[in-house]
Amino acid sequence: AYEFEYATEAESGKPIGWATSRERDTYSSAEPMSPNARQRIVYELLSFKGPLTTVVSLSPTPPALESRPTKDWTAKQVANAVLADKATGRVASGQRVSLAEVDNAVTETIDGNKYYYYEYISQGSPNLREPEATTFRHSFGVTVERDGYLYTLSTSAPEIYWDELSRGFDESIKSFRLTTPNK
């Protein structure tokens, strides 16, 4: 179980109209986020005036982290592993590679849990505001491990909206907390 707050307005004071598009109670009932179905979307908010996304995903520990004790994980390793695990890019060996570039990554311990915060940029899809083939999305993410699963909250917007939204998105990921399961 988890909780978080999400941005409801941009820096200008303009409201963000979010709509819940997915909400699942269990990992097994959640839609896959990645082709191998390891990462699953348990909660998703969309705003079509961006397009903006806020997603909570759940996955088993990615292969890149399995051989390391959790106490040795760095924020950048966690970010790269989570992003590679949901990526569709592959190198010649067939290994998954992240199509995102991690800019900043820090670890913070809260209530005995390590929260891995990171910022990343990835290639986006053309949209109504940016019809060009090459667009970019800017994102914040936070990941925390519990019982062999990684809980990740990510917030994302087209690069052209980032300055207007980054503060609210940063507050969103900083509010993310694991809570005591009630089922």
Per-residue pLDDT tens digits for 124-137:
665 556 566 677 88
pLDDT score recorded for residue 132 = 64
pLDDT of residue 51: 85
Q: Which residue has the tokens 């990921």?
A: 173
pLDDT of 165 reads 96
**Confidence at residue 49, expressed as pLDDT on a 0 to 100 scale:** 77
| Any domain includes 183 | no
**pLDDT for res 125:** 60
Sort residue 6 into left (φ over 0), alpha (ψ -120 to 50) or beta: beta
Place of tokens 């707050």: 5
| pLDDT tens profile 90-104 | 445 555 455 678 989
**Residue 134 falls within a domain, yes or no?**
yes
pLDDT recorded at residue 81: 93
Range of the domain at 82: 2-144+162-178
Enter the pTM of the model. Answer: 0.87
In this prediction, residue 89 carries a pLDDT of 53
Is residue 44, in this structure, part of any structural domain at all? yes
151 located within any domain: no
59 located within any domain: yes
84, part of any domain: yes
**Exposure letters 129-139 (e unless 16+ CB within 10 A, then b):** ebeeeebebbb
Q: What is the pLDDT along the chain (183 residues), one digit of tens a residue?
A: 899 999 999 999 999 999 999 888 777 778 777 677 788 889 999 998 778 999 999 999 998 999 999 999 999 999 999 998 876 554 455 554 556 789 899 999 999 999 999 999 987 665 556 566 677 889 999 999 999 999 999 999 998 899 999 999 999 999 999 998 876
Number of domains in the chain: 1
Over residues 13-33, the pLDDT tens digits come to: 999 999 999 888 777 778 777
**φ, ψ dihedrals at 85, nearest 5°:** -65, -30
Tell me, what's the pLDDT at 36?
73
Q: Indicate which CATH number applies to the domain containing 33.
A: 3.40.1000
Residue 100 lies in a domain: yes
Is 81 a domain residue?
yes
Which residue in 2, 12, 55, 56 sits closest to 167, CA to CA?
A: 12
- pLDDT confidence of residue 24: 82
